[in-house]
Each structure stands twice: as C-alpha cells, then as structure tokens.
Amino acid sequence: MLEPEITAEVFAQRRQQPDAPILLDVREPWEYQTASLPNSLLMPMGEIPARAHTELDPDAPIVVICHHGARSLNVTMWLRNQGFEHVQSLAGGIDAWSRAIDPTIPRY
C-alpha cells in the first residue's frame, strides 16, 4: 500500500503525468476561495461520509489536501478504511505547496 502522505514535490511531479491523481480539497469553502489549486474537487471534511461513495472512484489515485495536513491525513485514513486504497494526504497541506512549489498561492 502507498505511504499515507505524499510530499508537495512528489505530488507536483505526479500532477504533470497523464494519470494524475484526483486532488480532493477537504477544507471549508472560505478556505478554498482564499487559496486553492486548479482542478481540485472541493468536498469539506464534514461532507466526506455523505459524498465519498457517490462522487469518488475507490480505484482512482486521490491526493487529499487541507491547510496544514492534519484534516487531509484524517480523511485519507478514513477513506482507506472505506476501501479507497490509492489515497494519500499532501504533507503540510496547501501551506507546504505555497512554500515549496507555487509562492503565488496565498498563505493564510
């Protein structure tokens, strides 16, 4: 099984590939409006249990993102327990992405 977390640097490379993972943003709408990555799917953490099985493919690679990585790791582990085997959390969240990959993404 995959490691539970993926670094911003490794995800940046995987994002360029044809079979790029789905980017699942589990933050609140106001956070998503403040800073987000293109082509990400907003599904706030509280909505995951109601939406995951109808909107996500359990066989698809998924990277979960939040602000600093705590919520996304919790969601990653919950999804894995639900049978989503190809899920990873973006270590450090969008804050790490902004610091390491794209400084134009606002930090908050």
Length of the chain: 108
**Residue closest to 74 by CA, chosen among 94, 34, 46:** 46
Catalytic residue among 56, 64, 66, 96: 66
Whole-number Å distance between alpha carbons of 37 and 79: 21
18-32: string of b/e by CB count within 10 Å (b at 16+)? eeebbbbbbbbeebb
Q: Is 66 a catalytic residue?
A: yes
Active-site amino acid positions: 66
